Structure 1
Amino acid sequence: MELKLKINSKNIFPKGGILIKSASVEVWLHEIQNMGLTPDAVKVFPVPSVHANELFGCLVVCNQSKIVEIKKNNFFQLIENKLFVPEYTSITPELTQQEWHTLFSDEYHLLHPEIGLVELKDEVKWTDLIQFPISKEIEVTAPSKTVSIPHFITSMRIEVDQEKILEGIENPVSEEEMIEKLPFNMKKLLNGNNREMDKFLAYLEKNPEMAMKLAIPLDTLGTGRGGYGGSFSFNTGIGSHFNFGWIARFFDNLSAGGNNATGFFRYGFVLLFVVLARSCKGSEIKSELPSILVFIGIIIFVIFMISLLTGSQSGSSRSSGGGSFLVDSKRFNTLQSRYEKLAEDYIARGQYEKASHIYLKLLKNNHKAASVLEDGKLYREAGAIYLKYLQNKNKAAECYEKGHAYSEAIVLYKELNENEKTGDLYLILRNKSEANTYFNIVIEEYKTNFQYVKASLVYKNKIGDITEAQELLLQGWKTNKDAGKCLNNYFANCKSAEELSLAITTIYREEVSEANAAVFLHLLKHEFTKHEELEESIRNIAYEIAADRIGTNPDVASELVHFNKNNKLLLKDAMKYKLKMKK
């Protein structure tokens, strides 16, 4: 009998195998894995070629009900569990079931147009073909525990080093940046020498930004306005009853010229004055006093004339000499205006830290220094100045909060007993347990003062506990502590019409009395228009309250108009009833 394959338009027999064309066992295994199969779940039979000792490929026998992606391979039909033929083919002649079992053995057979009919006797044993690699002992080093990268930012805070921040404002320029050669004597300038001050002002006019580097504040010795300090007194005699400060000023004016002769007369006059003081005893003056006074007068006249002569030669040396003189108002105002102008220029250019340095260190205006930084949104720097120089913890805390320095702000708010603010910042830092601790303190304070509405808002908005909020509002209604607002908020917290209906009915039955019925009726007017489906039930409750009270209070009839706005007859009837009852 000769079996032949015939092309057919469809598969007559079920799919039972897949042919892989390759002589390589490695390709077979690779293709099986690509098709999503495992070697232990299928049977694989090698298919011989028409040439001796060659392989045509292999046939993979799999579950017929399982459809797989075969890639570039070919499906084969299985006839009577005996013969594999290509798909879309049929076999001639047709055989009966008995003939199939008679002609073919129990082994599988394959009929292919290229290689003919072959018997599949030997199944592939993968254990004989696959060689496992020799295992090597490898020392595995466990990596360090990784840090998880967050997918989103939940909170942000900035750690503040107050000393570092202030150092940048107080000392914006290092000593290396100071110019060594200056057109004035810094030591004399700091001692109040007016001549050096004139040089300094002229230098600043040409180099205004050098004020930042030189850092000479207005309150430095000799650069601040004030009174003269030369006040002398004696323990005994007539001198103990007078102030001799004018003498000190007179001597300073003489010595300012720098003339040696004038200095000599100065000291001579001091000697004579001491002799005069010693000659005084109580209210008695020795007989030599008149002659001494004449002598002193002559000396004073001579000194006065010499001072005029030396003054004309030295020009303005008296006003510009060193010593203990203070800078006059004109120079003081000039220096102050220079500093202020420089600070304003820095503000205009957006250099708020430099402007703040001038106000802080040169003009000694700490409040302005802080406000400039705050206006420039340098909140952490402003907070440091408010805290250190102005001791204003409220402003410092506000600035730290705006600058996201929440830890520093929390410390200050705790000191100020701002518990709600403290809780708010802990919420920002995602520390809910600590936040609730401070919110509960706030709630207790509100409850002590019978501020149930405020306490409920903290429960609702900060802690997120609506149940406790409703309990507090109901407590305020029961104790008649701001009862109207409490019950209004209680109704407002109801999320649905059903919940509101239940709340109104329950409170009406259990918590409404003659004392608070009028308030309850007034609140029903606000709830009546919220939900159309509740209008009838609320109207009925309003009628019941009005019926109980209308005998003693005829004005209650007017309240019913709000629940029947389209009923104009009710308005007339209410007016007639009230008029009748009053008569």
Structure 2
Amino acid sequence: MILELHYTESLHHPVAAAFLRGNNVKQWMLEIGRWNVSVSELDCYILPQSIHVTEEGGLFVIFKNPALCKNLDLLEPYYCIDQYVFVPANTRLYPEIRNEELRSVLLWELQVFHPTIGLTGFEKKDKVNLADLFSYEQNLQTDWSFAHPGIPDRILFNQILVEQMTPEEIIDAIKESIQPKPLEEIPLKKGEQPSAFEKFLDKIKLILFTGIFSVVEVVVKIIPESSPSNNYQGEGILQKLQSWLHRNMDELQKKRDSEINRLLNMFEENTDEALQYAIPLNSPYLNRGSQSVSDRLTRNPLKFNLGKLGGGDVVDGWDLGDRYYDLRTKYMNAAQKQIEQRDFKKAAYIYAHLMGDYSSAANVLEQGNLYREAAALYKDHLKNTSAAASCLERGGLYTESIELYKELQQDEKAADLFMKINQSSNAELYYEKAIISKLKNSDYLDASRVMHEKMDQPERAKIILLDGWNNTNQYEPCLKKFFDIVHVTEAKRTEEIVGLIYTKELPRYKRPGLLNVLEYVNKKHADEAVKEKVQNIAYKIIHDEAEEGNVQLLHSLKRFVPGDLLIGADASRYITNNKKQTFQEDHSKLLHLDQSIKWLKAISHRNQFLAIGTKNGHLQMARGNWYGNFEYYSWSQPVKNHTRFTFINAPYYTNQIYLHSSEGIVINKKELPKNKYFTENLTITCPIWLQNGSPVVTIGEDRNGYKLETINQEVTLHEYLLDGPLIKSTVIKFKGKIYNPSFSSTQCPLIYRNGYYYTFNEKQILLFSNKGRGVAFDLETGIRFVAASDQVHELYLIISTNKGCYIAKPDKEQLNLSKQVFARDYIPNQIVFIGALRFVIAEKKQAVLFEIDNNNVPVLLYFFETHNTIVGVLNGDNRNQFGLLEETGRITICDIV
């Protein structure tokens, strides 16, 4: 039988070797160097030129680890058959032969079947040491001290920047892309077009009438005209002149009204053309109550120029009256249409130039990937540096974003971007700054994360995590993370390290935490020695606790001996039999958060709660449940003493929670994972649109965010996706007058139920529908804040005022406000519903529980007193409990009989 090589078009086997043809050693070395593979991973043999000529024909290289060949571009690759025979990658042996039969005909330890050389082979002792292929000449004894040092290396570039266009130049480019039409007047119907003389005459009339009217008004005030006799009821000369002027000016106003009507109609017919005539509603020259020197609208080019935002071009004053809301609604609808059509430039023009809403303009520019323009609006017009930095980052403008992050002292973000532009030395510098800041904030867990994940320093991270186990309230998660790293870096030492962690001097309060960590390690490791070590220490901890009266940890035994099906029942029986004899201190009425933190506010979210506080000028957060399990998180940004925080959540719709600060602090997103203590994960965030301004925000049933905002004294409702993009805006038109339509208080919520929203200003409850129709209810007294029942029960509002509290049960556009005032003697810090009909009014150191009876009248049930200032009222583990969080971290659990 004769074996032959037959060509095949595709590779059927993994590559394991390569042939370097020729006898040039230098070429061999260059090719091997190109692979960037250590020579210790290679076995090399020299092949002859043919089976008849023994001179070198090439170098045959075998990869000890064939996986190294996967991404290499080899000139002549080979694969291996049965560990003994190497053949070219694009060939196969013919005829096919079984491995046992092939082995019976082989002559050497290794065979190479080359298409032209033929079948050759070698023993493993023939392996070539590549170092032996180099020859070194005798060193010369020469004095080199007089040698010229040569030309120094050029200084390396730190960065290369492309000269960018200015924002104004970019916006001018947008303007050119829109291609505005020539300036013309709004087209009129046939026969309505006035002549040039008529238009000129109308302007002269308006100027003249306005001047005469002003003079007459002054004269009438100074010299009031009297009647000739007591019986004469007619008008005097001045009054007749005023009436005549009114009639003529009304005629001119009618012409102006027809212009506005045509503009409103034009929005229905041709939005693009209508925008060219649109009146900027944010212009400082616009006066809805004054007369104009012109009765004609003129066409405006669709300019979007950052340098002219907020006014600068004189425009006519227009007396729009109620048409103002109609026109603003048309603008909103036009902007929404442009967003749907993905014409984000034009939508930004409408928001910024026509309505003065720079926040929405920046948002839609960002949606259109116009990041530089959006960042310019955020930074220069909205004074939101954080939003500008984030925007530039999303746009890949890393160098500019880095400078803003450095200004904001967000060192880790700056370092991340330095890594993206391959400036590792700068990245390391700013990672170190971030670590120092986190350690100063006692956040050992996050500091270790940067060391391990960002700087690849596992040993240093382990040291920090052990410090966290010994010194912080994050001791359990720190130790878990420590063993995660141990499992990767030195798994064989796990048994030894577990023994070193446990000491007899272990503080009692850490025993349950260590037991949980041991369970975690036990599940992670399959090594029997580790399991035995963990089990023995768990027995000691449980025994020590039982000796001191805490037999509840006996339930944990079954987690360490999963094969023993009886141990759980035995532990339960023992606990039951010894319950009366065992002394246990009663901790059921009190829980304690970290007392080194000054706590500011708290909120319940289904079966867990969150609390915000400060320590050493930095923001801290605790996550807790009613079993006394707590997790702690922190932010590195400094916090001013007077900063107020607001949680915005919708626990029955989403687990995403907004956290707003009165100072516009950047609240970087925190992911709070689901684990054995908490059955639901939470996300804490503050999107860009919420960072500045008041937190009059709610989360709807559709999980979108809704923000009420005042722009130029007009109220607008914006709808956003939870992660940021603006969806649409709605103008809110209220019946009657709204006093001071601003929402500056952090206790001014936006409440939503069944298509209607509720909020308040200084002395009014504001109610409006999602279609933009609103009603303002006067209370004739100052409103402190409003609290609402939760989203799954019938809506009740408790309104705290300077005269006491009112209760309301709204129904669509009816507020149904009770006339009876209750809780007159209390000055609430907060009011929180803890059920469908029960709510708590919390003062400084006292809380009062009320229940709404069948007549919708609040009835006082209980008083509760605390040691320190109450900062949070929390829903308890059941409907007959609630908790009072004090600023010191003490949580009093109040039972309701």
Question: What is the TM-score when the length of structure 1 is the normalising length?
Answer: 0.50
- Partners of 1:478 and 1:442 lie apart in 2 by 22
- Aligned residue number for residue 395 of structure 1: 387
Asked if structure 2 preserves the Cα contact closer than 8 Å seen for 1:311 and 1:318, the reply is no
Shift of 1:474: 0.9
- Partners of 2:351 and 2:335 lie apart in 1 by 7
2:448 corresponds, among 428, 453, 456, to 456
Shift of 1:69: 9.7
1:537 equivalent in alignment to 2:516: no
Higher relative contact order, chain-length normalized (CA < 8 Å, sep 6+): 1
Indicate the percent of aligned positions where both proteins have the same amino acid. 26
Shift of 1:350: 2.8
Q: Report the aligned-residue RMSD.
A: 5.1
- Aligned residue number for residue 433 of structure 1: 425
- Aligned residue number for residue 167 of structure 1: 169
- Aligned residue number for residue 237 of structure 2: 299
Task: Specify the structure having the higher radius of gyration (Cα).
Answer: 1
1:523 corresponds, among 509, 512, 517, to 517
2:355 alignment partner AA = L
1:421 equivalent in alignment to 2:398: no
- Partners of 2:251 and 2:554 lie apart in 1 by 106
Shift of 1:400: 0.6
- Partners of 1:515 and 1:315 lie apart in 2 by 80
2:461 corresponds, among 469, 475, 478, to 469
1:485 corresponds, among 469, 477, 486, to 477
- Partners of 1:441 and 1:435 lie apart in 2 by 10
Deviations 1:263-299 (A, max 9, x none): 699869959976995x89xxxxxxx9988x99x9643
- Structure 1 unmatched ranges of 5 or more: 1-34, 38-64, 71-144, 149-154, 185-198, 204-254, 281-287
2:526 alignment partner AA = H
2:557 corresponds, among 556, 560, 565, to 560
Asked if structure 2 preserves the Cα contact closer than 8 Å seen for 1:157 and 1:429, the reply is no
- Partners of 1:333 and 1:201 lie apart in 2 by 24
- Partners of 1:514 and 1:333 lie apart in 2 by 67
Shift of 1:437: 2.4
Deviations 1:214-235 (A, max 9, x none): xxxxxxxxxxxxxxxxxxxxxx
* Secondary structure of residue in 2 paired with 1:364: coil
Asked if structure 2 preserves the Cα contact closer than 8 Å seen for 1:356 and 1:370, the reply is yes
Q: How does 1:405-420 map to 2 (within 5 A)?
A: 405-420=397-412
1:565 alignment partner AA = P
Shift of 1:443: 2.2
CA 1:265 to 1:566, structure 2 compared with 1: closer, same or farther past 3 Å? Answer: closer
- Partners of 2:574 and 2:210 lie apart in 1 by 113
1:169 alignment partner AA = I
More strand per residue: 2
CA 1:557 to 1:342, structure 2 compared with 1: closer, same or farther past 3 Å? Answer: closer
Question: What is the TM-score when the length of structure 2 is the normalising length?
Answer: 0.34
* Secondary structure of residue in 1 paired with 2:412: helix
Q: How does 1:289-368 map to 2 (within 5 A)?
A: 298-300=236-238, 303=241, 316=254, 323=293, 326-329=318-321, 332=324, 336=328, 339-340=331-332, 342-368=334-360
Asked if structure 1 preserves the Cα contact closer than 8 Å seen for 2:170 and 2:373, the reply is no
Asked if structure 1 preserves the Cα contact closer than 8 Å seen for 2:216 and 2:238, the reply is no
Q: How does 1:168-247 map to 2 (within 5 A)?
A: 168-169=170-171, 172-173=174-175, 182-184=183-185, 199=186
CA 1:361 to 1:487, structure 2 compared with 1: closer, same or farther past 3 Å? Answer: same
* Secondary structure of residue in 1 paired with 2:502: helix
Deviations 1:9-50 (A, max 9, x none): xxxxxxxxxxxxxxxxxxxxxxxxxx989xxxxxxxxxxxxx
Q: How does 1:40-189 map to 2 (within 5 A)?
A: 67=54, 161=164, 164-169=166-171, 172-173=174-175, 182-184=183-185
CA 1:68 to 1:384, structure 2 compared with 1: closer, same or farther past 3 Å? Answer: same
Deviations 1:440-485 (A, max 9, x none): 2332233233222122112111221111111111112223533222
Asked if structure 1 preserves the Cα contact closer than 8 Å seen for 2:442 and 2:472, the reply is no
Equivalent pairs counted in the alignment come to: 365
CA 1:485 to 1:339, structure 2 compared with 1: closer, same or farther past 3 Å? Answer: closer
1:299 alignment partner AA = I
1:464 alignment partner AA = D
1:504 equivalent in alignment to 2:506: no
* Secondary structure of residue in 2 paired with 1:404: coil
- Partners of 1:201 and 1:331 lie apart in 2 by 20
Shift of 1:498: 1.3
- Partners of 1:264 and 1:473 lie apart in 2 by 82
Asked if structure 2 preserves the Cα contact closer than 8 Å seen for 1:257 and 1:314, the reply is no
Query: Which is further off, 511-520 or 434-443?
Result: 511-520
Deviations 1:358-384 (A, max 9, x none): 332233322221111222233333222
- Partners of 1:271 and 1:514 lie apart in 2 by 91
Shift of 1:525: 2.2
